[in-house]
Chains A and B, each alone.
Chain A
């Protein structure tokens, strides 16, 4: 019997998340794990946009910013429970992505990259300058999700690090499952068709503009939820979350790991999240090393680390 790639990806993900804590020397590693999962979630969204639909966004941190600030502001100003604030943030991000994406995605080429670049910077500027709401560049504290307290009442006591590890792992698992389902659905096939050739896809009846827009909106929701999770885990958020560098970081994670594959992209997120921690001893050379790795991957492993490695592996097998 041959397992479907979807099942393999999901089992690998679940197994790694379950087994990894057995090797954690201290509680700190739960945080690194949680950061990997949260970055992985945003990057999974980018797999749908970049990997499936072939569109580039350089402003996804903007959506993460919306998700994060929704969690900071909605519970205080609207009295929403934090869980609903996540939904509100996702809805706002989706709405904004739809409004911005609709005119742009009718065009071919790199217009989306440029427009999202501007959008991300705009969101970051609003968060920085509208300090009467956002408290400005020094940031704002975020109310607790409250779920850990509920679990503790049920007799299931977790440290904050442990809770966010398991919770973000669960959310990432669901996100990955949805993305993998999408890959095999008619929509996913249509997306990959238009990635190959928009003209060819159009001639076989694919509504190119609508599908690109859908992919963009879905990936914005992924970024927004990841921003919400990060804000609630840190209990504090500053406008840096929506900054241009964060957008670039997301794309780099996806491309490094392998933007065509969900597992690959999460692998990229894991490397770029964990590596700076491993390299604190060589801090001065950290950026140099990351840059070198990036260039080498782009030259020699163009599909990204994981897919290229798997291909080599399979090639030998056959």
Chain B
């Protein structure tokens, strides 16, 4: 009886000790789960929650479970900024994933720079990582890379004279500027440059102008949301014959449904391996990660994966991998480990970061896709 009491007491003390030692790894996130950018933030939030559960079930990080603290900033930079302060000062997280839009990401980066906490953004804008900021990383390709991929493909088809129609939202405006900036590197001339507002319901006038441009050989449409789908529909209705290029901003099955498969036929856009998981070669270096993520996500939520959820997947995986390698929860150590990420297979591409490269992707990460019979096929 006495021994049994002793054992019980010992177990209790051990359990108590373990309770103290069993600290948790606090990782923060602020994404746009609601609001205008919810199509970015919603799959990201779902992915983060799912992955954290998965990682904790497999034993956590550094032997400790992850506690994900996720806030919804609704796409408002001022709110995102408040949540960033809250994550660092009140929740005392060791790293943060998030910022669904370039605006929210740029608004919160100064907080992480000041507090020396690593931050991995889920937004496209190139200014997040250029110039390189010591504690800011990102997983999505930049809009500049999308322009380069598109222009390279246009040039390879022997086309020269390109018309542009861009959304005036953050994504469209930024990508338009990057395309105009990078076009000089190619033997391509921009012969038309039209724009439309984020809530416009008809782009026929702009497209008519573009159609009327002499010698037009291709059209590029930087934009995301519903705009590009309307452009694609109007494009087909006007019977414009030259090839249409969309951006990675609409790389999801929802785009084909919205635009209509018959209208989207032949549209090309730069996308990720995730979109073509079904036709990916088994020896592809991204095969395993893409299949695993797609299967898990679709089983859990019963809806198709999107590139944007993939960005969050890569961000959390890179972060967890870095924490494991750093063997520490200290900001600078984790930052250095993220920088040392090498040949990491993500859904977006193969990531190799560096001192001066906080993105770690090259053009090979993009695959030029074409919509055929309502589905995706790879060109190169």
Contacts and interface: CB of A to CB of B under 8 A. Distances in A.
Interface of A: 25-29, 31-32, 35, 128-129, 131, 136-139, 141, 160-161, 230, 234-238, 240-241, 276-277, 280, 283
Given A128-B168, A277-B86, A280-B71, A138 B173 contact: yes
B79 to A, nearest CB: 8
16 contacts: A27-B85, A27-B89, A27-B90, A28-B85, A28-B88, A32-B82, A136-B168, A138-B174, A161-B89, A234-B107, A236-B106, A236-B107, A240-B103, A280-B71, A280-B72, A283-B33
Contacts of B77: 139, 234, 236-238, 240
Contacts of A131: 173, 177
B321 interface: no
B122 to A, nearest CB: 14
Contacts of A137: 103, 168-170, 173
A29 B82 CA distance: 10
Given A236-B81, A236-B107, A136 B174 contact: yes
Contacts of A241: 78
A95 to B, nearest CB: 26
Nearest to B75: A240
A230 B110 CA distance: 15
A31 B82 contact: yes
Top-6 shortest CB links A-B: A28-B89, A137-B170, A28-B90, A27-B89, A136-B173, A236-B107
Nearest to B72: A283
Specify the main secondary structure of chain A where it touches its partner.
Answer: helix
B110 A26 contact: no
B347 interface: no
Interface in B56-112: 71-72, 76-79, 81-82, 85-86, 88-90, 101-103, 106-107, 110
B78 A129 contact: no
B86 A141 contact: no
B103 A138 contact: yes
A136 B170 contact: yes
B114 interface: yes
A234 B169 CA distance: 22
A25 B77 CA distance: 25
Given A26-B89, A131-B173, A138-B170, A230 B78 contact: yes
Contacts of B169: 137
B125 interface: yes
A277 B91 CA distance: 13
Interface string B115-130: 0000000000101000
A299 to B, nearest CB: 28
Given A35-B82, A138-B101, A141-B106, 12 more contacts: A26-B89, A27-B90, A28-B88, A28-B90, A129-B168, A136-B173, A137-B173, A138-B127, A236-B77, A236-B107, A238-B77, A240-B78
B154 to A, nearest CB: 25
A10 to B, nearest CB: 28
Contact of A234 (B33, B78, B114): B78
A276 B73 CA distance: 11
A276 B74 CA distance: 12
B173 A234 contact: no
Contacts of A236: 77, 81, 106-107, 110
B90 A25 contact: yes
Interface string B156-186: 0000000000001110011001000000000
A283 B110 CA distance: 26
A289 B125 CA distance: 35
Nearest to A137: B170
Contact of A139 (B71, B107, B114, B177): B107
A65 B33 CA distance: 25
A32 B125 CA distance: 29
A106 B127 CA distance: 48
B102 to A, nearest CB: 4
B301 to A, nearest CB: 17
A129 B81 CA distance: 23
A131 B125 CA distance: 15
A137 B107 CA distance: 12
A57 B78 CA distance: 22
A256 B237 CA distance: 50
B82 A161 contact: no
Contact of A138 (B78, B81, B102): B102
A277 B82 contact: yes
Contacts of A230: 78
